[in-house]
């Protein structure tokens, strides 16, 4: 009898050991899963505030690009038709309409960046536009969104020579021409994409026309 019982005891012990190992494995995996989740949550919480501060990472990158990597950025919000350091009451700063002001290392303003759009050939062309509000001189632009004709309208992104014309041009207003030009307020449009090229010009003119008076008024009020 005792030998018979002993022959069945070993498999039962093996089952118990296997079960304990499985439990330990699951517990270990759960611990590492929780740890990894905690690290991700911590990283997210640490990076979220600076991303939200400038209305999203993509927008911040565009702002820095059109202003030439400023040493410091300030944000002003549109409240009614005036600019303010604080967003409208109850508004999400991420969604509020705003303007970004760039400063160099000495604290001197180097320009502003605003988001603006206008109809292109088949869709709205959305740009981040950088300019000097005192002189109306452009510092650059960055395409944020467009769904223009591939191979034609999308050259406003792919044709780097087109974008290189804009820094330093004066928006008085800005004009487009099919031929190369040295006129300080004219840029050469892209062959085969004239409508989309002019949409870019239209967006830039609209941005300066809309935001310069608001920035002038804000400066006159002492930047309150």
CA–CA distance, 113 with 204 (Å, rounded to integer): 11
CA–CA distance, 171 with 60 (Å, rounded to integer): 24
DSSP assignment letter at 163: H
Tell me the CB-side half-sphere exposure of residue 38, using CA atoms within 13 A.
6
Cα separation values, 95 from 53, 56, 60, 100, 178, Å: 11, 10, 14, 14, 38
pLDDT digits (tens, 9 = 90+) for 38-68: 433 443 344 334 434 545 678 888 999 999 9
> What are the two backbone dihedrals, phi and then psi, of residue 27, each rounded to the nearest 5 degrees?
-65, -40
Q: How many CB atoms neighbour CB 133 within 10 A?
A: 21
Q: Is the confidence at residue 15, as pLDDT, over 70?
A: no
pLDDT digits (tens, 9 = 90+) for 117-154: 988 777 788 999 999 999 999 999 999 877 655 555 56
pTM beyond 0.75: no
Q: Are strands 186-188 and 109-119 parallel, antiparallel or unpaired?
A: unpaired
CA–CA distance, 30 with 109 (Å, rounded to integer): 52
Question: Per-residue DSSP letters for 121-141?
Answer: SSSEEEEEEEEETTTTEEEEE
CA dihedral 138, 140, 142, 148 (to 10 degrees): 70
pLDDT digits (tens, 9 = 90+) for 66-95: 999 899 989 999 999 999 999 999 988 888
Q: Where are the domains of the chain?
A: 1-53, 56-220
CA–CA distance, 176 with 155 (Å, rounded to integer): 15
């Amino acid at each position: 009898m005792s030998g018979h019982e002993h022959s069945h005891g070993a498999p039962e012990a093996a089952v118990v050991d296997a079960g304990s190992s499985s439990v330990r494995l699951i517990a270990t995996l759960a611990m590492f899963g929780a740890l990894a989740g905690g690290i991700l949550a911590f990283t997210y919480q640490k990076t979220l505030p600076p991303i939200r501060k400038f209305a999203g990472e993509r927008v911040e990158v565009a702002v820095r690009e059109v202003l030439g990597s400023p040493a410091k950025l300030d944000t002003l919000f549109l409240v009614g038709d005036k600019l303010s350091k604080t967003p409208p009451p109850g508004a999400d700063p991420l969604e509020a309409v705003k303007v970004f002001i760039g400063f160099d290392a000495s604290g001197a303003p180097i320009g502003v960046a605003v988001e603006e759009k206008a109809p292109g050939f088949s869709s709205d062309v959305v740009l981040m536009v950088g300019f000097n509000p005192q002189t109306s001189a452009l510092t650059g632009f960055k395409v944020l969104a467009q769904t223009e004709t591939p191979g034609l309208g999308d050259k406003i992104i792919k044709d780097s020579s087109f974008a290189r014309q804009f820094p330093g041009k004066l928006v008085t207003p800005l004009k487009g021409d099919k031929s190369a030009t040295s006129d300080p307020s004219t840029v050469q449009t892209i062959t085969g994409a004239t409508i989309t090229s002019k949409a870019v010009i239209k967006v830039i003119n609209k941005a300066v026309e809309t935001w310069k008076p608001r920035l002038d008024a804000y400066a006159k009020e002492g930047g309150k």
